Amino acid sequence: MLKPIFILLSVLLLLGHACEAVRAADPPAEAEAPPATAAIGRLVRLPLPITGHVDQDVKRSIHRTLARLRAERKNPAEPITLILEFSPGQTQAGGGSDFSRALSLARYLTHRDLADVKTVAYIPRSIEGHALLVAMACDEIVLGPDAVIGEAGIDEDPKAPIEETVVAGYDQIAARRRTIDSALARGLLDRKQEVLKVETEKGAQYLLKQDLDKLKQQRAIEAKPQVVFASGEQRKLGAREARDLGVARYLAPDRMSVAKALGLPPSALEVDPQVEGMLRAVTIVISGKIDARMVETRQLMIEKALDEPTVNMICLRIDSPGGYAESALRLAGYIAGLDPARVLTVAYVPHEALGVAALVAVSCDQLVMQRNARLGGGELLPSDRELLDIRAALKNKRLTEQGRNWSLPVALMDRKLTVHEYTNMKTGVHDYFSADELAEQPDQADWKIGPQVTLDKRALTLSADDAQRYGLVRDDSVVEDFERLKTLYGLESDPAFVEPGWSDALVRTLTSPGISVLLVMFGMAGMYLELKTPGLGIGGFIAAVSFVLFFWANYLEQTANVLEIVLFVTGVAFLMLEVFVLPGFGIFGLGGGLLVITSLVLASQTFVLPRSPSQIRELRDSLLVVGGAGVGMVALAILLRRYLPQSRFLQPMVLEPPEGDQAVEQSMRESMVDYRHLAGAQGTTLTPLTPGGKARFGDEVIDVMSDGQWISPGSTIVVVAVRGSRVEVAEG
């Protein structure tokens, strides 16, 4: 009974040894690359030293790179890796970098706009100087096997203490990232500082020697402190030493090894020359009220500019009080839809971008404001229904860069929206939400409410400094003038201005309220003049030119279409029918006048019945144009009636009333209404007979009627019948 059991145990033991042998022959893949932690990533080069416009050029490259990566990723939660490759010159290892520019770039890398980005500093060769500050601002550091880093203060005066602002800058970046411990950073910066490594119950800790006594009072030190940097000695770390101290995460001899270590495809570490190329900009002006015509012309200008292969930056110079929400939404959507890998869009606000003009400004990749400029607020604000469309577009990230909240941009146009500052109690991050947007946050419970940003019943209006504080404008994007903007983006010359063509300028002029009033007024006055000077044609010519210019301009402005033109022509035809065919003031005269007025009002707006405050304002402007033209036409008609008979040029065409005995005799005849003595008499027409008009018989001027035939002035006529006061004539 025991023998089979013994045999079975022996077999199982042999199988176990065999499995161990197999595992020993196939060691675990410890040398393999770690599993990919990021699906997408890209490399951007940082040329050293950091002087001149290097920091701004690198920021632009990073911004354009991230815009492309964010557009490529399918899942907004998918992590992005940005590799910043430090590229020192041939003769120096980054020494000579300007501290203020290095700090500006370091702050940019630690800004909340890059919260969804893992930043990696790749240092294939040795670096020194303040370039180290930029490496500290990254989440991880990867060194080449032979790279040496340190001597951050090599460009400071060795005989003087390190300036407090420099020390504060290193402390700030070390606290934000903790890639390099603050004490180590101080040691790498200042040779006079002695840095120690101590072991406490909470693990290893780095500190400056002068802080050792303070630490002893707080915690127990388990072993003798180890000197990392002795006072006065060189401050350099080799690649392996940096890794042992926890400064470097990986050692990688080339880009391929970096890609493998970070779990990225090799293509992610290829340099994109288009991203790193010099910016060549054109400037497009957006001034005045934003409407359909402006949007159409500006889109055409942008398309024309991008036809040039060298143009990769569009600067929109915005100085606008606002306008129509529908038009601004269309323009903002168009700008936001431009390929960020092809073109960088920058909104430059020298004075104001109010109302929906602020929407256009925030739809650009970057926003730059002059110090005294204003953003948001104003009088031309969207209606509640239009605000819903704007909010929906901003919530879907269609109009702004990825990651921007929608509450602040909407508050720039919405009097009713309340926005507070919030602080995340876990991360310490500050942000700005409305109640609705706070409810959308997955970590809603972690946010603590702070002071209210908006004012009750007023749209948010921000100065340049306010916009910078709230994160709508970057730290370096508040400028004194356009020259500073050129410096900010490294533009070597003035960007070319893409101006509207002469026809666009003419259309904008003709559709302005003042010129529109004059066109309608001269059109009406021309019609009146034509009736008072029959046969001359000057009034008809003036009326035709005025109304053609009015409707042509508004047609191109996209406020007038075929319907308005048909209504106007029909109205004029009815008026002519009433005046020349059916004398009196009947249905055709009344209907024709209403059609003309309706066509003129509708030609100045894009709707029939107003549905929003902005449309009510537009209707008011249209009525003011027509009403002002009507008042002006009446005044002009009075002047024409008074001075027209004395005009040397028009006097021969004006009928003069009889004087003296002729006037008395004609008055008696007209009062007796007896024209029987004219039967069979011949006379001459003084006005066109259409069919009514005036004719002269000897010394008498009387009203006559033809048999329906049109008879021109100066024609010979014969009286064919007299019926009371009605004198019927025929040509002959």
Domain limits, the chain: 40-190+232-273, 194-230, 279-417+454-497, 502-560+603-646, 659-731
Pairing of strands 374-375, 700-705: unpaired
Stretch 505-512: mean pLDDT, rounded?
A: 68
Statement: residue 502 has pLDDT above 70: no
Residue 188: count of CB within 10 angstroms of its CB: 26
Burial class (CB in 10 A: 0-12, 13-18, 19+), 243: middle
Can you give the pLDDT at residue 402? 44
Q: Which residue has the higher pLDDT, 181 or 644?
A: 181
Question: Confidence band (pLDDT; 50, 70, 90) for 144?
Answer: very high
CB 208 within 8 A of CB 188: no
Which of 203-212, 268-277, 348-357, 616-625 is least confident? 268-277
Q: Is domain 659-731 given the CATH code 2.60.40.790 in the classification?
A: no
CB 361 within 8 A of CB 464: no
Question: What is the CATH architecture of 40-190+232-273?
Answer: Alpha-Beta Complex (3.90)
pLDDT tens-digit profile of 104-124?
A: 899 999 988 888 899 999 999
Domains 40-190+232-273 and 659-731 share a fold: no
Question: What is the CATH architecture of 279-417+454-497?
Answer: Alpha-Beta Complex (3.90)
Q: Token digits for 164?
A: 């407090």
Can you give the pLDDT at residue 352? 92
Q: Where are the alpha helices (DSSP H) in 501-579?
A: 502-510, 513-532, 538-556, 562-576
Stretch 205-227: mean pLDDT, rounded?
A: 74
Statement: residue 347 has pLDDT above 80: yes
Angstrom distance (rounded) from CA 516 to CA 599: 14
Q: Which of 222-226, 411-415, 497-501, 532-536 ranks highest by mean pLDDT?
A: 411-415
Angstrom distance (rounded) from CA 140 to CA 132: 13
Statement: residue 3 has pLDDT above 60: no
Stretch 343-353: mean pLDDT, rounded?
A: 89
Provide the percentage of residues in the chain whose pLDDT is more than 90.
10
Statement: residue 26 has pLDDT above 60: no
Average pLDDT over the chain, rounded to whole?
78
Stretch 227-253: mean pLDDT, rounded?
A: 87
Can you give the pLDDT at residue 425? 82
Residue 665: count of CB within 10 angstroms of its CB: 13
Can you give the pLDDT at residue 7? 47
Question: Confidence band (pLDDT; 50, 70, 90) for 503?
Answer: low
Can you give the pLDDT at residue 118? 92
Stretch 682-690: mean pLDDT, rounded?
A: 85
Can you give the pLDDT at residue 387? 85
Statement: residue 19 has pLDDT above 80: no
Q: Give 201-262 as a DSSP string.
A: TTEEEEEEGGGHHHHHHHS-B-SPPEEEE-TTS--EEEHHHHHHTTS-SEE-SSHHHHHHHH
Statement: residue 608 has pLDDT above 70: no
* HSE-CB for 128 with a 13 A CA cutoff: 18
Statement: residue 518 has pLDDT above 60: yes
Angstrom distance (rounded) from CA 353 to CA 287: 9
Q: Which residue has the higher pLDDT, 96 or 39?
A: 96
Provide the percentage of residues in the chain whose pLDDT is more than 70.
77
Can you give the pLDDT at residue 228? 82
